Structure 1
Amino acid sequence: MIKSQFKDWIKLTTIIAENHQEVPDIECPNCHRFGINYQYVGDIKSRAGFLDIWCNSCLNGIHLSRTKAPETVSMLPFDAVEEYKKKVPRFTPIEP
């Protein structure tokens, strides 16, 4: 059975895909503060890769593999390791 908090984090994927410019206005499912951030990483041409979503306040989040980034969102290539490390903090992953 999937924990309800994990489901709440999964719901953010749709919000990000549809309203990516308004992501800082999304409430964290964990601490209920505003400040959600995300980063897609993958193959730029196919847009296939993974997605990290985290809260800048409580540093909880999720990592989703095998996802496809919408054309409207920014995406780092797989080889942009240093840029990824600068942007994405070490967050505590919420497990299903």
Structure 2
Amino acid sequence: MINSHFKDWIKLTTIITNNNTKRHEIECPNCQKRGIDYQYVGDMKSRVGFLDIWCDVCLHGIHLSRTKAPEHVSMIPFDAAKEYKERVPRFTHIEPS
């Protein structure tokens, strides 16, 4: 059974990809502060990869594998480890169960 807290984070996927410019106004499911950020990482041609979503305030978030990034959002290529480390902070992962 999926953790209801994890489901709250999953709901953010639609919000952040549809409202990319207002992502920092989204309330965190963990601390209820505003400051959600995200990053897609993957194959630049197919735009398939993974997605990290985190809160800049409490540093909690989720990692989703096998996602397809919409054309209008930024994506880091799989081979850009340095860029990924500079962009995505270490955060506490919320687990599905």
With normalisation by structure 1, the TM-score equals 0.98
Match of 1:56 in 2: 56
Shift of 1:3: 1.1
Q: Structure 2 regions of 5+ residues with no counterpart?
A: none
Aligned equivalents of 1:22 and 1:6: distance in 2?
Answer: 22
How many correspondences in the alignment? Answer: 96
Structure 1 residue runs without a partner (length 5+): none
1:14-69 CA-partner distances (Å, limit 9, x unpaired)? 01111111100000000000000000000011100000000011100000000000
Asked if 1:86 is matched to 2:48, the reply is no
Q: Which amino acid aligns with 1:89?
A: P
How much does 1:11 deviate?
Answer: 0.3
Cα distance in 1, alignment partners of residues 17 and 90 from structure 2: 23
- Runs of 4+, deviation exceeding 2 Å: none
Amino acid at match of 2:63: H
TM-score by length of 2: 0.97
Percent of residue pairs bearing the same amino acid type: 73
Partners of 2:71 and 2:13 in 1: CA distance: 14
